Every structure is written in C-alpha cells, then in structure tokens.
Amino acid sequence: MGFPTQRPRRVRGNAMLRTLVRETSLEAGDLVYPMFVVPGRGVERPIASMPGISQLSIDRAVAEAREVLSLGIAGVILFGIPSRKDALGSEAYDPSGVIPRAVQAIRESVPGLLVITDVCLCEYTDHGHCGVVEGGEVDNDRTLELLAREAVCHARAGAHVVAPSDMMDGRVKAIRQALDAEGFATLPILAYAAKYASGFYGPFREAAESAPRFGDRRGYQMDPGNGEEALREVALDLEEGADIVMVKPAMPYLDVLRRVRERFPGVPLAAYNVSGEYAMLKAAAERGWIDGERVTLEILTSIRRAGADFILTYSAKDAARLLGAARA
C-alpha cells in the first residue's frame, strides 16, 4: 500500500501539523550554559574564537547567571581559571579558590539555577595536563586523590552536581567514595564518560588557558576511531557510581550518543556541544554562509534526536531566546 494512498507530505502542510507530529522536543530547560570564571572584579574578557563568550570575574558571572535563569535555561557548568598555576593544580581544591567562591556567590544570588562544576586539573596545572605528571606521563592513581579533594571542595561550596572531565580510570569511584565519606551521599556525579581526544576543544583551551605545554591528551582521552570502547567506558562509570553519563564532543559523535542511548535505556544521558562546534557555527554564520539562528536550533535538535536528555552548549542563551521568540 504505497502512493497515492500514502502521502507523507500531508502532515507537513502547515506549522501546526508539523509541531503536532514532531518526535523531538527542544526547550531551554534541556540546556546547560558553560561559563569561564576568572579572579578579579568587573572583568569581562571576550574569547576571540568564541563570539559572545567571555571570561568573567565572579561579580559578572553572577549577573550572567541571573540572565541565564531568566531565559529558562536549566543550569550552568563552571570552569575556573586560577590566579596561580602549579604542578599539582593546588587551586583546584583550595576552598578559597575561584570556583568555590563563584559557586557560593551564584547559589546565594541566583536560587533556582542548577550549578554544576567541572572537576579537572588542566586549568590549574602549570603543565596543562589533567593530572599529576610523573616522568612525562600523567600518573592515573596519584591524580585520583586530588580529583576527589576537588569534588569535595566544590560540594562544600554548594555545587548541585560535580562533573569529572579528566578521563582518569577509577575517578568516579574515588569521587563517589570521598563524597559519601564527607556527607554528600546524595550529590550526583555527571561523568564525562565517553570523552574523545578531539581537535574540537581548541577554542576552549584558549578560554580556559588550559592547553598542555607538552604532548597531548591522547594517553587518557578516547581515540576518535572507537565506538565500542565508549560503551565500555559508560558501563564502567555507571558501575563506579555515575548518575549521569556524557558523550563529548556531540556533533561528530552522534553515532556514539545513539549507541549509548540504546545500550543504556533509562540512564540519564548528556552531550557536550563543545567549543569547536560553536566556533564553526559562529564563523560560518558571521560570513553569511549559513543561517546561524536556524542552524543553532538544528544542531541542538539533532543532539536531542540522537538521544541526549540534555545538552551542555555555548549556544544555550541564543537558543533559549530563539525558542522563546518562536513561542511568543
């Protein structure tokens, strides 16, 4: 029974019908906005490769967080740039460091906004790697204790969720145990479970001043050629106590996102639409080569359609405005 009985175009004829039969929804409440917090006051330093995104001091970050909440966006994820970097990334677990103070300030001034913290050492180490470097290599097991301290430090400051992005083996377990021991048994872990060694992080490393001084991250982040391995990484993180798992980057790894969704139904799943994806979109839109607004929503819809429950994205504010305008 095909044509002319079957005419798929019948339900595409007007916007109301298209909306009614649309399989995938996209709302501001599905989005998390990343922010880069720096020491000082009144600082707003634009990041050249990420139009619209700036490094912000805490006072400015609070103002931006207020705007994010008013747009209906679910929450923020905070990255810190310390005043001083050293070999062990000490400011990452200093209670008076930039992130604990930012968390406190945002929690106090912007109730109702979810505050997630990125747990990693690369922004805080002078060598720019995500852990303790020993003989030119990142020492997995020595790094675990520092990550656990960082997570507890963020929890004490009031983080709603901690998100380890380092890709050390066993870090979810180490963080879970430390949180439980310190009275944070109910605080969720969002694990960057399948995080690839990606060229798409370039602009982020400018924003977070976290490019490795030597070598690269291929010894701990995943090889772009692997898909099955992502399922193993996700399974391990869940066993260790991850509450939400994430695939990163998003667009070039939509197949991975879909496979994780199918293999682990019911597990909360996030995707990180990373800095390089945002930079490509903005660059092409600035030149008039694509319709930036339309493509912004199309990208985020594709990530939701692939299986993500929610998306970390630099486009969160743009998308929330577009979605709000479409409704009005």
Cβ pair 182, 174 in contact under 8 A: no
Query: Which of the residues 85, 173, 248, 282 is marked catalytic?
Result: 248
Cβ pair 53, 46 in contact under 8 A: yes
Is 313 a binding residue for ligand PBG by CB under 6 A? The answer is: no
Cβ-based neighbours of 19, under 8 Å, separated by 6 or more: none
Cβ-based neighbours of 147, under 8 Å, separated by 6 or more: 119, 120, 121, 131, 164, 166, 168, 171, 174, 175
Selected from 56, 88, 122, 231, the binder of ligand PBG by CB under 6 A is 122
- Which residue in the shown chain puts its C-beta closest to ligand PBG? 204
Number of residues forming the site for ligand PBG (CB under 6 A) = 11
The 263-282 site mask, x for binding ligand PBG (CB under 6 A), equals -----------xx-------
Residue 282 bears catalytic tag: no
Residue (of 280, 270, 166, 176) closest to 212 by Cα position? 166
The piece of 95-103, 116-124, 262-270, 287-295 that touches ligand PBG (CB under 6 A) is 116-124
Beta strands 75-80 and 31-38, pairing class = parallel
Query: Which of the residues 173, 195, 282, 317 is marked catalytic?
Result: 195
Beta strands 54-57 and 190-195, pairing class = unpaired
The 197-226 site mask, x for binding ligand PBG (CB under 6 A), equals ----x--xx-----------x---------
Residue 85 bears catalytic tag: no
Residues forming the site for ligand PBG (CB under 6 A): 118, 120, 122, 130, 165, 201, 204-205, 217, 274-275
Catalytic residues, by residue number, are: 195, 248
